[in-house]
Amino acid sequence: MPFQHNKHPVNSQQASHARPLLPLRKLPAGQSAKIAKIDGRPDHVHRLEEFGLRGGTKIVMFRPGNPCILRLAGNNKICLRADDLLHVFVEPTAA
């Protein structure tokens, strides 16, 4: 069973008003989003956190696909390859 890691959980009151979560791989190019949840092995989740990808982080999908390229704050970009052991969920936001 995958480890669920989320340093910034959404409480139940916020969840009722929140938009549905979307797997990162389904985010279209140019769409802004906020990282909502990262599920996977603790060491894999920690590695993403070292790159700045954690709950609450605002991103923009620069190039979808596998691997995808995400733009983080400060115009930094990271490349992320999909894998069955790590799942990133986002909440789409307005640009």
Tell me the pLDDT tens digit for each residue of 35-64. 999 999 999 999 999 999 999 999 999 999
DSSP letter at 18 equals S
* Contact predicate 86/40, CB 8 Å: yes
- Residue 15's pLDDT is what? 45
Domains and CATH numbers, the chain: 4-93 (2.30.30.90)
Cα angle at 93 between 87 and 95, to 5 degrees? 125
Helices (H), the chain: 12-17, 42-50
Instruction: Quote the tokens at residue 21.
Output: 């979560």
What are the angstrom distances between the C-alpha of 57 and each of 1, 74, 93?
Answer: 25, 12, 12
* Contact predicate 71/60, CB 8 Å: yes
- Residue 87's pLDDT is what? 93
- Using the Cα atoms of residue 28, residue 77, residue 41 and residue 66 in order, give the sign of their dihedral: positive
Q: For 14-40, what is each residue's pLDDT tens digit?
A: 444 556 899 999 999 999 999 999 999
